[in-house]
Amino acid sequence: MSKPSKPESAKFTPGPWEVSQLQPCYVITHGDVEPICSIAEFSSNGEIEHLFPDNKPLEAKANINLISAAPEMYESLRKICHEAESWHSVHGHEKGSTQCDSICELIPDMRAALARARGERG
């Protein structure tokens, strides 16, 4: 296992993100800034043409809640990954240590998820 990785800076709009409801769609905003994303397709005159996924409002609301939590989840995972890497670099990998084994197994997945969130892996 390598040394703890240095925190990578994310280029997305920092949180917190807020969910606003514009019947029948949901929009994620950050303060008074333009919307970050919505789960609807709008016509050229600004009317909602299609709600994703397939006009299912409960699923759309669940999706937008998950998306709006992304900045906080990213930052939490970044901190957990850093702590796991730091713990491992101090304590090493002791054979038979289940605590270290479970930490070691999660570090690559956490790194991959963080990189994907930064757009570094597809």
- pLDDT value of residue 100: 67
What are the pLDDT digits (tens) for 14-37? Answer: 888 888 877 667 788 887 767 888
In angstroms, rounded to a whole number, what is the distance separating the alpha carbons of residues 42 and 90?
53
| Residue 86 Cα distances to 82, 111, 115, 121, angstroms | 6, 14, 18, 24
Element (H, E) at 37: strand 37-38
Residue 73 pLDDT exceeds 90: yes
- pLDDT value of residue 53: 65
Contact between 65 and 19 (Cβ < 8 Å): yes
Give percent of the chain with pLDDT exceeding 90.
19
**What is the model's pTM?**
0.73
Strands 25-29 and 18-22: what pairing? antiparallel
pLDDT bin (cut points 50, 70, 90) of residue 84 is confident
